[in-house]
Amino acid sequence: MKIIKKSNIINQIVINNKNVGFVPTMGTLHEGHISLIQKSKKKCSITIVSIFVNPKQFNKKKDFLTYPKKISQDLKICEKLQVDYLFLPSFDEVYHWKNKKVIYPKIDKIMEHKFRKNHFKGVLDVMSKLLSIIPNSKVFMGKKDYQQYFIIKNFCQINNLKSQIVPCNTIRSKFGFALSSRNLLINTKSHKIMSKVYKTIKNYKKNNYLKKFSNSKIKNLLKKVGIIKIDYINLINLSNLKISKRISKKTNIFIAYYLDSVRLIDNI
């Protein structure tokens, strides 16, 4: 594995290769990231993993400063997985990269935008740079952050970018909750509550298949397992991210809730 810190060097490596897999991360790698890297290794001749904690996608400076970082552990994971190139850029290396002007997709009606005003703009800013530095690649992204996957895919389409966004299934713990770097900020005793949230939503969807979705009913069910603060819980059509009324195979239940003062998202 080669560690690259300069944007122009990684760009030259990519330009000379046509089958590049790219896994953009903010580090603190877990089994979810590992599955993305493994998929890239299977499908592509070269795999690049980036680790860059992007300050522009954090609404609060405190969240940026407290975001978990385990770079030495990340290096060992990438080496074990035989990643070809690990891209570790500085802020200047990313944001001083000159790329063509881009068109941003509409994000005002996407759920996360309402509660994290600058988040998606920050995500698109950094992905605009990264996809220009590492162009024409297959970009592997998890479905846990489905809203993020959806807007980045849309971003590539409207800007005619050749990068292919590859969606990958959410990796869950043995207790059901989605794996996330933020889980490290949560008391391990609270993992039982996270498990109950997942099971409650999964069972609700199963027991109400083809029936009308009730926001208030599922909120009451979640209160019983200890979830008090919820930003949103909606039934969403996966093809267009619009709110649906009837549960089906084309819809997922999206949730953003708080546990131990940590904000968690999932879609089930």
pLDDT, one tens digit per residue, over 146-202 is 999 999 999 999 999 999 999 999 999 999 999 999 888 899 889 999 999 999 999
Residue bearing tokens 């003062």: 261
**Residue 233 confidence (pLDDT) above 90:** yes
Same domain, 143 and 205: no
Residue 155 belongs to domain with CATH number: 3.40.50.620
Evaluate whether 115 touches 146 at the Cβ level (below 8 Å). Answer: no
Residue 173 placed within a domain: no
Evaluate whether 42 touches 23 at the Cβ level (below 8 Å). Answer: no
Q: What is the mean pLDDT of residues 125-140?
A: 97
Same domain, 67 and 147: yes
Number of domains in the chain: 2
Residue 151 placed within a domain: yes
Report how far residue 150's alpha carbon sits from residue 15's, in angstroms, rounded to the nearest whole number. Answer: 26
Report how far residue 185's alpha carbon sits from residue 40's, in angstroms, rounded to the nearest whole number. Answer: 28
Same domain, 57 and 90: yes
Residue 217 belongs to domain with CATH number: 3.30.1300.10
Catalytic residue positions?
Answer: 33
Instruction: Quote the mean pLDDT of the chain.
Output: 95
Can you give the pLDDT at residue 109? 81
pTM assigned to the model: 0.94
Evaluate whether 244 touches 237 at the Cβ level (below 8 Å). Answer: yes
Same domain, 150 and 188: no
Range(s) of the domain holding residue 40? 2-168
User: Which residue type, as a one-letter code, is found at position 45?
Assistant: S
Q: CB-based burial of residue 70 (10 Å sphere; 0-12 exposed, 13-18 middle, 19+ buried)? A: middle
Same domain, 13 and 45: yes
Domain boundary among 136, 168, 200: 168
Domain boundary among 168, 193, 221: 168
Tokens representing 53 are: 């904690």
For residue 157, give the nearest of 149, 145, 147 by alpha carbon. 149
Evaluate whether 101 touches 19 at the Cβ level (below 8 Å). Answer: no
Same domain, 138 and 257: no
17 Cβ contact partners less than 8 Å away, ≥ 6 residues apart = 45, 46
Secondary structure of residue 237 in the 3-state scheme? strand
